[in-house]
Amino acid sequence: MTFTRTSLRALAAASALLALAAGIGPAAATGNSVTVAVGESIADGSHPLTAATAHVEMETQIAVWTCQSGTVPASPVSEVQSGASVEDVLQLRGLLFQGCSWMGGTMSTALSSPAAFRVTGPATSGSSDVVQGRIENFAISGGVSICNFTVSGSVRASLNESTQKLTIDESGRSGAFKVSRVSGCLGLVQVGQAMDLRTTLQLTSPDGAINVSGS
């Protein structure tokens, strides 16, 4: 059978439509449009944000890392977005970890690209919700003398409005957060490996507490 250019284009278009129907191809960004108040104000605006954590755990099927602490620093400026139709509630532009160890050595670990917290669960106008969401475009780089790697994807997270804590709990090696680049590492870290990440960040904005509700 001979295919013309027109028929080949038609076949390609049909294949693309079938792939989309089957869920193959680029995934759409997750997140609901919500109303966000900062310090009881829902006026459109960006508010500076810092954060701190006392413990971080990361692991693949083979290796485990722990960090004694972590911070979202004042520079580069991370932000809370207030307003009536917000998708990226938090913009994290820096996340530094201290006291990270791997195989008895110190491992430098830090956020390597900006990431955004987006709400995926329900939220009311009250101030005591635990709002479920995901941190999208999350990428962490780690390194020691014999191993450098990047883990990227998205992680499950929840915002507790009462305590102003953002808990990251990407567990069960779901594959949503996995190793995307490796140099060295003696085979203990490999491209495609799923990684778990667990930590809780205490959020602070000088403009007041963060409250999320349905838009």
Determine the pLDDT at residue 26.
34
Q: Work out the pLDDT band at 215, boundaries 50, 70, 90.
A: low
Residue 86 burial (C-beta neighbours within 10 Å; 0-12, 13-18, 19+):
buried
Amino acid identity at 42? I
Per-residue pLDDT, averaged over 183-207, amounts to: 94
Determine the pLDDT at residue 17.
34
Per-residue pLDDT, averaged over 74-83, amounts to: 97
More confident residue, 99 or 25: 99
The Cα 120–Cα 53 span in angstroms is 23
Mean pLDDT of all residues belonging to the chain: 86
Instruction: Reply yes or no on whether the pLDDT at 194 is more than 90.
Output: yes
Q: Work out the pLDDT band at 29, boundaries 50, 70, 90.
A: low
Per-residue pLDDT, averaged over 50-55, amounts to: 96
What's the token pair of residue 143? 């390194």
The Cα 56–Cα 58 span in angstroms is 7
- Distances from the Cα of 175 to the Cαs of 117, 170, 202, in angstroms? 18, 10, 26
Full DSSP string of 38-98: ETTB-SSEEEEEEEEES-EEEE-SS-EEEESEEEE-SSSPEEEEEEEEES--EEE---EEE
Q: Which residue from 158, 138, 161, 166 is spatially nearest to 150, judged by alpha carbons?
A: 138
Instruction: Reply yes or no on whether the pLDDT at 24 is more than 60.
Output: no
Per-residue pLDDT, averaged over 155-182, amounts to: 96
Per-residue pLDDT, averaged over 123-150, amounts to: 93
